[in-house]
Structure 1
């Protein structure tokens, strides 16, 4: 795991938690974002290892999510194909809703449209259906993923393609 060494005045271990699918954006966009935030003195959590497939979010990862104040999910073409990304997003949405406005989500749409993430197009919708069929996942788990993705509907994010450079 890589994280910045900056300390926070609030006592939180991290100020920002980055959620992204490594093969899509780790080299390039997410790496640039991570280093830019650190250079600005922001304490950032970014996982540097592929996570094991399993039913529960790893304890250190869950603590990083719980202790962060700002969440930046980087939605990419294959974000929804990662059970880990979807589990992180569910945890992020839960933490944000119970924080009473003390935590924020700042979504970034990298090479996808907000409608893809909101399940209004086939991209994420079919990916989740395929995961559900192939992995024989519970309806409860898949419904939580869908709900978390659709909750992003109420959050204004950045569409990378709209920005030059």
Structure 2
């Protein structure tokens, strides 16, 4: 059985950026992505905005699997997006099974509010 360190040699990206596009794509995420690239960090960003009714693509889920880190930008409407939550489930799965490191960034939200919402989601 391969451990997380041996599988990291096969990783395509340093970081996967998970975010709610309408909240952060053209401001915070654009600046973060540019900064990571300038520092030589190979980050994956989903350039396609998903439309209502579309499913998260397998290539997006593969990008999550093939990243050493996931940076999750939690914004005001993050948890109201089914796609963001599907990405988050995959990220947490990779944290458990592949040793992927996860870095949450709270963008214009209070971390306490996110914790409360997480508790209510786990009850459903």
Superposition TM-score, scaled by structure 2 size: 0.82
Query: Residue by residue, what CA displacement relative to the aligned partner does 1:26-71 show, whole Å, maximum 9, x if unpaired?
Result: 1111110001001111111101111245585311001101000100
Query: Over the residues paired in the alignment, what is the CA RMSD in angstroms?
Result: 2.3
Q: How many residues align?
A: 115
Whose relative contact order is higher, 1 or 2, with alpha carbons under 8 Å and at least 6 apart? 2
SS at match of 1:10: helix
Work out the CA distance in 2 between the residues paired with 1:13 and 1:83. 25
Alignment of 1:1-165 (within 5 A): 10-53=9-52, 57-99=56-98, 102-118=99-115, 120=116, 124=117, 146-147=121-122
Q: State the structure with more CA Rg.
A: 1
Give the Cα separation in 2 of the matches to 1:52 and 1:24.
15
2:18 is paired with a residue whose SS is strand
1-structure distance, mates of 2:70, 2:62: 13
Task: State TM-score, norm by structure 1.
Answer: 0.63
Corresponding residue number in structure 2 for 1:128 = none
CA distance in structure 1 between the partners assigned to 2:54 and 2:65 by the alignment:
18
Relative to structure 2, which stretch is displaced further, 52-61 or 9-18?
A: 52-61
> Where in structure 2 are there 5+ consecutive unaligned residues?
1-7
Displaced runs of 4+ in structure 1, greater than 6 A? Answer: none
